[in-house]
Amino acid sequence: MQSTFNSMQKPTSTNLQVITIPIESGLISLRSLTSKRIRFELEYALEKGSTDNSFLFTNDKLSRDEQQEAVLVHPPGAIYSEVFLPSLTTCLPDSTIRIKVVVGHVNPNRVKFLKQLQGIYPNLELISSNPGAKLLKELWSQRKPTSATTSQENQNEEIPIPSINVIRQEQNMQIGSNYQLKLIPAPTPRWPGCLLAFEEELGLLMSDKLFAAHICTSNWAEATRSSTEEERRHFYDSLMATMEGQVSSIIDRLEELDIKTIAPGHGPAIETSWRSLLNDYRKWGEGQQQAFIKVILLFASAYGNTAAIADALANGIRRTGVQVQAINCEFTNANELISAIQKADAYLIGSPTLGGHAPTPIVSALGTLLAEGNRDNPIGIFGSYGWSGEAIDLLENKLRDGGFKFGFKPIKVKFTPDASLIKTLEETGTQFGRNLLKIQIRQQRRSTEGMSSSRSDPSILALGRVIGSLCVLTASKESGEETLNGAMVASWVNQASFNPPGLSIAVAKDRAVGALLHNGDYFALNVLAAGKHNKLMKKFLQAFEPGADRFSGLTLLKSPQAQPILPEALAWLEGCVKHRMECGDHWLIYAEVTNGKVLDLNSKTAVHHRRTGANY
């Protein structure tokens, strides 16, 4: 049986604009901004808008003989075309000018923009890494399956691909007599064609996806390191964590450069604290290195939709402390693939459907998995499609016939996953990770004859004597035309400040509601009444299926910020998240109390007594 999702991205009001930020004479940043969430992928989930940062070396610093040439580093995606292209033509009014375009990474959205750019400036030269050139050629003539195709899109399909200057290893590129770019291939499974650009005179690293953050800001650089930490951490968790090994290798190389400023593809630049950010990237990857259970994620993604599904599943799995290693089947050799499969404790494999078939790299990886995979390890399959989804059917039939056990129902997503589906996919991944941990725990108990050292540890027993009030945390958040909801039982709750009135709540990393508790988000804390709490506890302690409505069958009140309130509660508090701190296997949330009310004046607060501090 398959889980089939029909989803298409809905258009939104994006408030698009482009601003010009002078950097030096002859060098400007063209920053495309939107205050709205423009896509439903996991990386945009904080809904703080975004920027797409491009860098233009103009004629001002080119020699006299080269005045008809300009260099554009990291062009934006096509979603910004309507505002970016007019700004660019203002800077470069001569359509005959020769433009060299450094393509930092390749996806259908950027290829569509490059076609539009080629239509305006026919003397275009693309500069990309070797894998990037391969993807450019594949995507240039590829047509995305849609319900309708406009005449403009048909026209774009007919535009010939420009010449491509392929960068196979680090290479210097002189721009006039004043600037020199060092072009650094930085392949990862998610962006095999990634190409970084470092301007040596300024010490400016144009890092594309590395160190990015989705924030709408007109400021060239961040004010302080802490001002963007949550957004950069979210971006890392969403896209970088499954590639920790490759990312660490890239950082090792960047440490050798004389960097003064890092300017990523999204968000403000990092000037004074860039080294701290590199250290944070290393620290954030330590959890992946220390995990005892490893899931191998095999995928190929023609249009980015299958990769978006993979990101959401992986993020949910990692919340449980399980390591996920992403492998792009199109750019991984056979020996590396065999080694990864043999070392894995579980497998995920995802594929788009192209012309009624799975891509050749996925078919090849499937064969390797059937030959080398352990049938005792659980597997999950997923994919996107435009019309029929034969690739997912192929994966399911071959793996089921091969004797593999499925960790969740095969997932088929039509077109693009939306925000609600992304949340369901994360919860599916979390359930998959929890099941892997249960298997490990059972194996440990058998090997130790059921003894647990923590149960006899005096300090752990003493920790269990710390009690807390029994509460139900509820949260609701608008995302486009959808409403995302979440809830959990909370007993690690404390008042944290008098002025302003504030409280702290510890939220386990694998709780689905944690995705709704970022800075600026609202929630309600429903304090339960002693002797009257069992019904609500039973309701919210049950194991919900991914995507299930936590409030089904309940009559709810609403706080001033539209947060769900349980009428049976002793009291409720509405809070706004102000700080979110990582504490081991939990997030510690500090929130300012904005509203509240006692609903039952005659009852006392229900409290949670534990025998040990080793569990709830």
The phi and psi torsions of 462 (rounded to 5 degrees) equal -65, -40
CA atoms of 342 and 489, how far apart (whole Å): 39
Q: Are 223 and 270 in contact (CB under 8 A)?
A: no
Judgement on whether residues 164 and 220 belong to the same structural domain of the protein: yes
Judgement on whether residues 524 and 432 belong to the same structural domain of the protein: no
The whole-number pLDDT of residue 155 equals 47
In-domain check, residue 451: no
Judgement on whether residues 46 and 99 belong to the same structural domain of the protein: yes
Judgement on whether residues 185 and 325 belong to the same structural domain of the protein: no
Judgement on whether residues 90 and 182 belong to the same structural domain of the protein: yes
The phi and psi torsions of 108 (rounded to 5 degrees) equal -60, -35
Judgement on whether residues 434 and 461 belong to the same structural domain of the protein: no
The whole-number pLDDT of residue 58 equals 85
In-domain check, residue 24: yes
Judgement on whether residues 9 and 98 belong to the same structural domain of the protein: yes
The one-letter amino acid code at 475 reads: A
CA atoms of 57 and 100, how far apart (whole Å): 10
In-domain check, residue 425: yes
pLDDT digit string, tens, across residues 29-66:
999 999 998 888 999 999 999 999 999 998 654 455 54
In-domain check, residue 452: no
DSSP annotation of 159 reads: S
Among 239, 261, 286, give the residue marking a domain's end: 286
| CATH (domain of 465) | 2.30.110.10
In-domain check, residue 613: no
Task: Give one DSSP letter per residue of 184-238, joined into a string.
Answer: EE---SS-TT-EEEEETTTTEEEEETTT--------SB-SSGGGGHHHHHHHIII
| CATH (domain of 317) | 3.40.50.360
Task: Give Cβ neighbours of residue 81 (< 8 Å, ≥ 6 apart).
Answer: 112, 113, 116
CA atoms of 536 and 534, how far apart (whole Å): 6
Cα torsion 363, 368, 371, 372 to 10°: value is -150
In-domain check, residue 129: yes
In-domain check, residue 450: no
Task: Give one DSSP letter per residue of 342-368, joined into a string.
Answer: HH-SEEEEE---BTTB--HHHHHHHHH
Judgement on whether residues 602 and 470 belong to the same structural domain of the protein: yes
Judgement on whether residues 33 and 132 belong to the same structural domain of the protein: yes
CA atoms of 600 and 593, how far apart (whole Å): 19
Among 380, 405, 438, give the residue marking a domain's end: 438
Judgement on whether residues 280 and 304 belong to the same structural domain of the protein: no
Among 403, 438, 473, give the residue marking a domain's end: 438
The whole-number pLDDT of residue 290 equals 80
| CATH (domain of 121) | 3.60.15.10
- Domain span at 388: 293-438
Q: How many domains does the chain have?
A: 3
Judgement on whether residues 265 and 335 belong to the same structural domain of the protein: no
The whole-number pLDDT of residue 366 equals 97
CA atoms of 423 and 484, how far apart (whole Å): 8
The phi and psi torsions of 91 (rounded to 5 degrees) equal -75, -35
CA atoms of 376 and 374, how far apart (whole Å): 5
Q: 10-residue block means of pLDDT along the chain (616 residues)?
A: 47 74 95 91 93 88 60 96 96 94 95 96 96 94 56 59 96 90 96 96 97 96 93 96 95 96 98 93 86 94 90 96 95 95 97 92 97 97 90 96 97 91 96 92 62 71 93 93 93 97 97 96 98 95 93 95 97 98 95 98 95 88
Report which of 310, 313, 213, 306 is spatially closest to residue 264, judged by C-alpha positions.
213
In-domain check, residue 527: yes
Judgement on whether residues 250 and 375 belong to the same structural domain of the protein: no
The whole-number pLDDT of residue 22 equals 95
The whole-number pLDDT of residue 362 equals 96
The whole-number pLDDT of residue 474 equals 98
β partners of residue 573:
525, 596
Report which of 93, 115, 92, 91 is spatially closest to residue 103, judged by C-alpha positions.
115
